Amino acid sequence: MNLRHSLSLTVSNAGLILKVLIYTTVLLLVGFALFSAITEPIIEAVDSDVDLLAELEDDVAALFGIGHRGGSIDRFVSENIDSLTRAAILYVLLYVFLRLGVSFATVPVSFYLYNKMSANFNCGFINATVSTGGKAALLALTYTAVTAPTDLAILIGGGFFANWLGGAIGVAGVAIAILVIIALIAFRMSLTARWIPEMIADNLTFKKSVRAFFYRFDWAYVKEIYPSVLFMLIFVGGAVVVTAVETLGIVPIVVLPSAFVTYSAIAMTGYFNVAKRKYYIDERVIDPRDRF
């Protein structure tokens, strides 16, 4: 029920997806420019005798337990450790910047969806952004501080797990590790998803929303939305991987904003369902109590 209604809510708000697409495109362009600026000195520092393609092939072979010869990459790292460390720190800061941008947009998107669901009213994305700007900024800072380290730990730990399992049983091990990583990220996203819907629906100040989120945790909400979040991540991840090269990145550019709105819809629909509050999807009125 949650996934079906969330998808219906997403499809019926195509205009919101377009606005999020514009927002995320600008954010990604800024991020790409910063990434290029960080990466360029590293590329210039690579000696001509470093065969990156051959080293990449060896790394992939090692991941699957075929073997690894090492060589020029290892020498390059040892000779440029200071520059690489500085670049690594800048990459982490860039990641935090992008997370702040995404987290900020989640609040006005959720506010827009709440108005559609509670009163079938289109408040406009710009109006939603202006109305929630203060809360959105505070939440982006706090939410990023709470979730970014967790997600990085999952990704780094998952990378080591994939390397170990891939070396042990080959390609199947890497696939299993990827599924575990996706499942853990979906679980983290489900744990933190209630914060914004509750803040908006109950019109809480940011301070009260923090208290409500950390002291009134609801496992029923997590159980309600986790399958939907997991399905969304698997579908989106598969769509991006399959279409990224063939479409020169065009499909992922469209899919990711759609997934962004879908996640907000899943979170808001889950809130209405657990609270057993009626809500609109277009002209239809959904009563969560009908399924009990």
The residues near 67 (Cβ < 8 Å, ≥ 6 apart) are 58, 61
Which residue bears the tokens 């699957």?
64
Domain ranges across the chain: 2-280
The residues near 226 (Cβ < 8 Å, ≥ 6 apart) are 186, 187, 190
The residues near 178 (Cβ < 8 Å, ≥ 6 apart) are 158, 162
The residues near 141 (Cβ < 8 Å, ≥ 6 apart) are 100
pLDDT, residue 71, reads 52
pLDDT, residue 268, reads 95
pTM score of the predicted model: 0.83
Which residue bears the tokens 């006005």?
108
CA-based Rg of the chain, rounded to a whole angstrom? 22
Q: Left if phi > 0, otherwise alpha if psi is -120 to 50, otherwise beta: which for 122?
A: beta
Q: What is the pLDDT along the chain (292 residues), one digit of tens a residue?
A: 678 889 889 988 888 999 999 998 899 889 989 988 888 877 776 654 455 555 555 555 555 554 444 555 666 667 667 777 888 889 888 988 999 999 999 999 999 999 999 988 888 888 999 999 999 999 999 999 989 889 989 999 998 998 898 888 888 888 899 999 999 999 999 999 999 999 999 889 888 988 888 887 788 999 999 999 999 999 998 888 888 777 777 778 888 889 999 999 999 999 999 989 998 987 788 888 775 4
The count of other CB atoms within 10 Å of the CB of residue 269 is 30
